[in-house]
Amino acid sequence: MAKKSIRGAVVAITGGARGIGLATAQALRAQGAHVSIGDIDAQLAAQAAARVGAYSAELDVRDKASFSRFLESTHSALGPVDVLINNAGIMPMGPFVDEADAISDAQIDINLRGVIHGMKLVLPEMIARGSGHIVNVASLAGRFPIPGASVYCGTKFAVCGMSEALRGELRNTGVNVSVVLPSRVSTELSTGTAAGNGVPTVTPEDVAQAVLDAIQYQLPEVSAPGYLRPVSRYFNVLPRWLEDAARRVVKDDRIMTRLDRVARAPYEQRLSTLVSQPRSAKGANQ
């Protein structure tokens, strides 16, 4: 497919104050897109936006009214949203039975419900216009389940399934849906986790490039690194005995057995602050 230019496009990105979202905002700006960063950490989002030359506003993806305010303020500042990147997410780790209900709920609210809110809010205008693109940053854990991240995997599987179904539903409308599947990425979210044997760690910039590829080439699914895409697509067709053997070789339970809680403490502190924070009830603009 011919490469589509994103120069001048208005792109709204959730969770863009740091990590993959910030790297993506930077990559999009470098291509001439107008970028709006939404993040629950409004102060950090404003600093990030000032650095990359983007617009920013407070956003709590758990709250549909907050998401609506973010999109409306983006529209007022930059124009109609051409691309929505649902990137905000959290990844608590550890045994399922020990996970507090509030932490399980937060993953569903942010990683899944937040994506649903965003898509429902942008789609009517995109469909009416006959153009638009939604990119959902899921994870390879949305195709390849990891012990120690059961609820997280559940949310990411849901995002993959929902994205595929919606892509079919929107066929012939001019609106595209893509899903991006990163391996382990060197951000705060993965601090203190150990990847399985042979599982690569990529940079936020690698994932930003995957997001750009999804938009510019209208791809349904992109993984980072790219060579893992066949693994994510075809792993599940292996006979169970072979899958189990492959999992033993990879040591897929490393997240449980080699989780560095000390290194992870600052991220877990950020999560507990977020979870105890009531859903946003404030205005969105900076």
- Which residues are the active-site residues? 152
State the minimum distance, in angstroms, from the CB of residue 167 to ligand NAD.
Answer: 19
**Out of 169, 188, 244, 260, which residue is the one contacting ligand NAD (CB under 6 A)?**
188
Residue 57 within binding range of ligand NAD, rule CB under 6 A: no
When the beta carbons of 128 and 220 are compared against ligand NAD, the nearer one is 220
Burial class (CB within 10 angstroms; exposed 0-12, middle 13-18, buried 19+) of 234: exposed
**Out of 84, 91, 151, 284, which residue is the one contacting ligand NAD (CB under 6 A)?**
91
State the minimum distance, in angstroms, from the CB of residue 80 to ligand NAD.
Answer: 21
State the minimum distance, in angstroms, from the CB of residue 279 to ligand NAD.
Answer: 8
State the minimum distance, in angstroms, from the CB of residue 100 to ligand NAD.
Answer: 17
Interface segment toward ligand NAD; rule CB under 6 A; list 1-9, 160-168, 187-195, 243-251:
187-195
Computed over its alpha carbons, how large is the radius of gyration of the chain? Answer: 18
Q: How many CB atoms lie within 10 A of CB 221?
A: 19
Residue 271 within binding range of ligand NAD, rule CB under 6 A: no
**Out of 15, 92, 154, 192, which residue is the one contacting ligand NAD (CB under 6 A)?**
15
From CA 4, how far away is CA 241, in angstroms rounded? 43
94-153 positions binding ligand NAD, by CB under 6 A: 110, 137, 139
From CA 29, how far away is CA 34, in angstroms rounded? 7
**Cis preceding linkage at 220, omega within 30:** no
When the beta carbons of 5 and 100 are compared against ligand NAD, the nearer one is 100
∠ Cα 30 33 36 (to 5°)? 110
Residue 24 within binding range of ligand NAD, rule CB under 6 A: no
From CA 216, how far away is CA 172, in angstroms rounded? 18
Residue 14 within binding range of ligand NAD, rule CB under 6 A: yes
**Out of 26, 178, 190, 232, which residue is the one contacting ligand NAD (CB under 6 A)?**
190
From CA 59, how far away is CA 17, in angstroms rounded? 11
**Out of 10, 18, 151, 160, which residue is the one contacting ligand NAD (CB under 6 A)?**
18
Which x/- pattern over 209-238 shows residues binding ligand NAD (rule: CB under 6 A)? ------------------------------
Per the document, the length of the chain is 286
State the minimum distance, in angstroms, from the CB of residue 175 to ligand NAD.
Answer: 21
- Distance, CA of 285 to chain centre: 22
Counting residues that bind ligand NAD (by CB under 6 A) gives 30
3-state secondary structure of 184: strand
Alpha carbon separation from 93 to 61, 232, 275 (Å, rounded): 21, 21, 15
Are residues 59 and 67 in contact, defined by beta-carbon separation less than 8 angstroms?
A: yes
107 Cβ partners below 8 Å, 6+ apart?
A: 90, 91, 92, 151, 152, 154, 155
Residue 252 within binding range of ligand NAD, rule CB under 6 A: no
From CA 35, how far away is CA 168, in angstroms rounded? 27
Site for ligand NAD, rule CB under 6 A: 14-15, 17-21, 39-41, 59-62, 87-91, 110, 137, 139, 182, 184-185, 187-190, 274
